[in-house]
Structure 1
Amino acid sequence: MDGPILAIDREADRPVGVQLVEGLRRGILGGVLRPGDAVPSTRALATELGVSRSAVVAAYEHLAGEGYLEVRQGAPTRVAPLAEAGPDAASRHGRRPPGRTTQPPVTTRRPVEASDPRIDLRPGRPSTARIDTRAWRSAWRHAAALEIPSDSPPLFGVQRLRDEIADHLRQARGVACDADDVVVTAGTSEALALAASALALLAGRAPVIAVEHPGYPSARRTLERRGARTVPTAVDADGLVVDALRRMPHPPDAVMVTPSHQYPLGGRLPVAARLELLEWARAADAIVFEDDYDSEYRHLGPPLPALASLDEGARVVLVGSFSKVLTPWLRLGYLVLPQNPALRDAMALIRTDERCPVPGVAQDAAADLLASGAVRRHIAVTRRDYGHRRRLVIEALDGIPGAPLSGLDGGLHAVVRLADHGASEAVVARLAREGVAVAALAEYSAVPGEVEPGIVFGYAGAADTQLVEGLALIRAATLDVT
């Protein structure tokens, strides 16, 4: 370990911590450090290299989050098994010497379903490797120790959680709200279903809701199942085209928009267009459902204000969740209501019959997590991790002739455009045979038969070793059809 893997250049512009991470990662990928190998203790390596122990601790934690190292309390830190990256990955890179076997560590991971892909790059999957498990377990222990109520959770959610969500949004998104504005929901889908039902109650009929094309298919189907009629609305490189709303012969009752990171194409609605959208909503007497999707993860350019923070006409219903920030396993989301008494009354009437579906104990635990600062810290550390994985995507796929890469300014997924639908189907099918799951861009069409060719894949949920192999397979499949 004192050879070229960890040669620290004191004159380099890169910080020592970055050099440590890169050197160890290079050693693992190059096969010098093999699965199961113990790495030096943080104190020993710091002494050997003449660097601070905190720098080594941070480097080990970073690599553990990427899936390269296994850090277990009371045991040496070891190189993680890389068999997940493919059955032949270890032998290809010389990571396992002849005659040597490595016993996998005992884990408490959930069993993998037989139908699960070998490398899951479907969009919408965050990494849970960096969740502060100590804070997570502490929050649930505290919630479980509270007095057990004899009633359902309040209509709009537990007061303390609503306080914490409001505080989080004020700090993270500049949205001036308080607990009375927040409705706790079981994720984004339930939030949209509730909003659509409230809109129908106000309109006295099935509401008409404009949706992005291409756009989030689950959200569109959720609105339709609640009786809404959806109208596909064009998007461009920046996001929703406001002029398309103006050109409609009859304005819709509402529009659902993903302004922070248009899903799936990745555009970011400029401030001028956001203000135009709000002006259109005021003139059309329409509601804006703002899905604040991926707003926490901007990789290029400063974050733009939420539509809700610009709204002076009580038009915007902000929809958010902690599925991408923490884990979809939690199924926790929220609505932030504008100062619209009729809309609030409609929400309360619906909640009277459809009680808050999020268990009270889960709400108490989430409130503790937010209050402890664990969520804020998690966003900060995963923002760095996802930035690194985004660079891996660019290194592997940028510049392929006839297959432009896009959607990477923010969020957790990317898009590879292809020449035609046949090429897209061929790439998705080939990757499926190789055990790599991605999505076809056609799946996001809001107009049957009107599809854009390409693939959509996520880069956050897979470990680095899996991601590197998956990207190599995507590149090979793409080159074969271009």
Structure 2
Amino acid sequence: MELDWLLASPLPERLPRQRVLYHRLRDAILSGRLASGTRLPASRGLAASLNIARNTVLFAYEQLVAEGCLVADRQGTRVASLPARPAARSATADVPAGLQGLSTRATAALQPEPGREAAALPFSPGVPDFGAFPFRSWRACLERAWRDAGWRQLGYAAHGGEPALREALAGHLTSVRGLAVNAAQIVITSGTQAALDLCARLLGDHGDTVWAENPGYLAARVAFGLAGLQVHDVPVDAEGLSPSEDDWRHHPPRLVMITPSHQYPTGRVMSLPRRLALIERARQSGAWIIEDDYDSEFRRAGPAPPALFGLQADAPVVYVGTFSKTLYPGLRLGYIVVPQAIAADFARATAQATRAGQGIEQLALGDFIRRGYYTAHLRRMRARYAARQAALRAALREAFGPRVELSGGEAGLHLVMWLPPEIRDIEVAKRAAKLGLGVRALQSYARAPMTCNGLVLGYGNLEEGMVSESVRRLVVAVQSQDTDKPKNCH
């Protein structure tokens, strides 16, 4: 048998000859070039004919025998009987149902979040000021965590999260947010997205309805869709989520997702009457409210409004938070606070659904909070972001006139600049991207029939010295006029 082709072509750099021979024999068998039942030369003879060491051939033969590609018997070595290889399909051939690729739920999740690829550009929403991160304090906490760590911290983290972090976080939420919670009610997660996924899977069943704000946080829709829930869009008005009687009657929810402290992306704050009414209706309908306390840490217009979680002792509310904006997103740590009545079951179910990690980082974060570094950092960042927002407001009024309509500045890291009907936000965002700006169109967060017309302008990563030039480029992007006239969602 002529097998010179096995080593005729150039060898990959730094790849041992035995691996080359193994791969080329395997490829020949799987492709049908070496048919089932074909006898291969003895190892000594093949080594001599290819001018290679016999051990090289033995390695390849033994590996292929172990994988079931070859069969060794007293007569020698032959190609095993393998399933027939299907004929190649043409590029235009019909593919049987079920073989197209990802599931319907996963395909829906492929819709890109607007502007995610432009996270480092001026006006990109949700990007904190990385330059102000307290590296020295954080590094000291990490060093202490590693110094005190044992072998347990090298495995999975404790169920629900490291006790030291949960204790520290419970104290922080009690003193800063007014939530009378204990460590047993807290479950540490890998950020907000992981928290929403857990809530969807542990509090809802496949096919249940979840209400989502419209316009709203698109990544939440992805988490709910992948969990098999039916997403029903509920409009947002000046007081927050605004469900109608038709929504309650014809689309009763199992879950209601809200961002009441600083609605994303409009920046609206849910009124107290609306909060109380939502709790009561949710209790009556057997629904859970998922409260994402988005950006409440960066409140500027007085104290943050009370969380729904703490309004009533028996409220059907779970509270979700993250350290992605307050510290840095790469930390990948967030948390869920659940009512005492379900805390133990929720923690046990979480332990079955996922395996927690980042034990060292959790210990460091608990130390960071306990020593007061976290509270001090938030205080500094509130002042820093307030100054940036003030500079941005002044520059926008100077560029677009004193009557420019801005909203969402009570908290958070972004403003919404509402546009007149003759200027389409989608087109402005496209032009802004070409000018190096991370502006997002408000309409890109909305689902029909809701129509919005405004620009989401992040200023977390916008240094005050960059404001004037960034606004100048924004003016250029806004200058072109469009003919379609969508109505503002406010």
C-alpha deviation, 1:418, in angstroms:
2.0
- Structure 2 match to 1:147: 150
Distance in 2 (CA, whole Å) between partners of 1:322 and 1:116 is 21
Other-structure match for 2:467:
467
Q: Secondary structure at the match of 1:398?
A: helix
Q: Which runs of 4+ in 1 moved over 3 A?
A: 115-120, 242-248, 398-403, 419-422, 448-451, 479-482
Relative to structure 1, the CA distance from residue 117 to residue 238 in structure 2 (aligned partners, 3 Å threshold; closer, same or farther) is closer
Contact kept, 8 Å, 2:388 with 2:463, in 1: the verdict is no
Question: How far is the alpha carbon of 1:430 from its aligned partner?
Answer: 2.0
Aligned to 1:279: 280
Task: Report if aligned partners of 1:245, 1:251 keep a CA contact under 8 Å in 2.
Answer: no
The answer to whether 1:206 aligns with 2:216 is no
Q: Which deviates the most, 262-271 or 126-135?
A: 126-135
TM-score, normalised to structure 1, is 0.71
Post-superposition offset of 1:136? 0.6
**Structure 2 residue aligned with 1:168:** 172
Q: Separation in 1 of the partners of 2:382 and 2:417? A: 22
Distance 1:120 1:291 in 2: 25
User: How far apart are the structure 1 equivalents of 2:246 and 2:263?
Assistant: 17
- Per-residue deviation, residues 438-475 of structure 1 (Å, max 9, x unmatched): 11112211x24643122212101122222332122223
State how far apart, in whole Å, the 1-side matches of 2:210 and 2:119 are: 35
Query: Could you tell me which amino acid in structure 2 is paired with residue 334 of structure 1?
Result: Y
The offset of 1:130, in angstroms, is 2.3
Greater shift, 458-467 or 391-400, is seen at 391-400
Secondary structure (helix, strand or coil) at the match of 1:472 reads helix
What per-residue deviation string (whole Å, max 9, x for no partner) do you get for residues 137-170 of structure 1?
Answer: 0011111222231642112010000001111100
Contact 2:253 2:287 in 1 (8 A): yes
1:371 is aligned to 2:374? no
Matched, 1:131 2:130: no
Opposite residue 473 of structure 1, the aligned amino acid is R
Gaps of 5+ in 2: 1-116, 483-490
- Partner Cα distance (1:196, 1:332) in 2: 18
- Aligned-partner Cα distance in 1 for 2:261–2:119: 30
Question: Residue type of the partner of 2:419?
Answer: L
Partner of 1:451: 451
- In the TM superposition, what are the counterparts of 1:316-465 in structure 2 within 5 Å? 316-341=317-342, 344-356=344-356, 358-398=357-397, 400=400, 404-420=405-421, 423-445=424-446, 447-448=447-448, 450-465=450-465
Instruction: Give me the whole-angstrom Cα distance separating, in 2, the residues matched to 1:217 and 1:118.
Output: 19
The total of aligned residue pairs comes to 362
Matches within 5 A, 1:69-108: none
> Cα gap change, 1:152/1:286 in structure 2, threshold over 3 Å: closer, same or farther?
same
Contact map agreement 1:117 1:435 (CA 8 A) in 2: no
Closer/same/farther in 2, CA of residues 269 and 209 from structure 1, 3 Å limit: same
Counterpart residue type for residue 126 of structure 1:
P
CA deviation vs aligned residue, 1:207-260 (integer Å, no higher than 9, x gap):
211110000001111111111111101110121115467644242111001110
SS of corresponding position for 2:296 = coil
AA matched with 2:462: A
C-alpha displacement of 1:313: 2.1
- Distance (Å, rounded) in 2 between the aligned partners of 1:280 and 1:117: 38
SS in 2 for 1:120: coil
Amino acid at match of 2:178: G
Structure-2-length-normalised TM-score: 0.70
Over the aligned positions, Cα root-mean-square deviation in angstroms equals: 2.2
% same residue: 35
Q: SS in structure 1 opposite 2:291? A: strand
SS at match of 1:279: helix
CA contact (8 A) 1:118 1:435 kept: no
Task: Measure, in 1, the Cα distance between the counterparts of 2:461 and 2:201.
Answer: 33
Q: Distance in 1 between matches of 2:275 and 2:330?
A: 32
